[in-house]
Structure 1
């Protein structure tokens, strides 16, 4: 005697119904999951390329990225030396200048005060960097908080040099 049960029509119908139900469920769920992906306009804002060929040493340009100002400063050798000579013990949020600037000549950072989100003023303050007039935070030539209520340095976004004249942010 064989232990195998003969295939019945009921088994086939059960398998076919399950398969059709699974395909139907996937067809219903897929659009719901897919609609959670960002649309093309959001993806376009994810990165931006900036032409820096006209920026002279000692000057800063401000560009918008993801709705936030980004400061791109072409630093002079004096500013670089000043930023690198600071002792870590003097900093509220210790961070080396070398870790903040991929190329010492160029400083790229999100231009938002880390205290309450104001936009600091360029070439102001006690450290020749940025000054936030809202609550009195002073940043140095590397965008590090030196004095005032801000708890952290200004954020450095992900960026890369596409070529000698272009920076891609994001």
Structure 2
């Protein structure tokens, strides 16, 4: 028993030094003020070195996304870290959820080669990656082009009506 305790005491400094430092932990989450985003407006935040697209969608954008038959989707999986991994890519499962369907928060990196798509462009009025021609709809779902997956949705939560915490 004393050998186990001694081995643990000897190993602890090595284990402890592997914990992330304060600067790394600070990058783990970011809070974004969305109070200025009216319907139809977007902003890009930065989290873990990646662009994060936050959009307050218009009722027309929401309806356009809801009207898409699931069989028309290239990637049928929501890719939303906030819900089940196998959830379908419905508009609701891609948005911030019930009561907040107008909000969409996504990692702004094309799932083809990591380029940054342009907002409110392309054949479906969502995002367009001019590098290789991937078109995403108003829910960030890949609809056309070489990208294999929908834009990913990071873990996030509303911490108030005007603040979102990502990470």
For Structure 1 versus Structure 2, the TM-score category normalised by the shorter chain is 0.7 to 0.9
Structure 2, unaligned runs of 5 or more: 77-88
2:58 is matched with 76
| Matched residue, 1:89 | 71
Which residue number in structure 2 is paired with residue 132 of structure 1?
129
* Distance in 2 between residues matched to 1:138 and 1:107, nearest whole Å: 17
State which structure, 1 or 2, has the greater radius of gyration over its C-alpha atoms. Answer: 1
5+ residue gaps, structure 1: 1-17
The alpha-carbon deviation at position 90 of structure 1 amounts to 0.7
Say what the alpha-carbon RMSD is for the aligned residues.
1.1
Structure-1-length-normalised TM-score: 0.86
Q: Which residue of 2 aligns with 1:168?
A: 165
- Report 1:1-170 matches (<5 A): 19=2, 21-94=3-76, 95-101=89-95, 102=97, 103-170=100-167
Cα separation, 1, equivalents of 2:5 and 2:105: 49
Between the two proteins, the alignment pairs up a number of residues equal to 152
Offset at residue 23 of structure 1 (A): 4.1
Higher helix fraction (1 or 2): 1
Higher relative contact order (CA 8 A, sep 6+): 2
TM-score by length of 2: 0.87
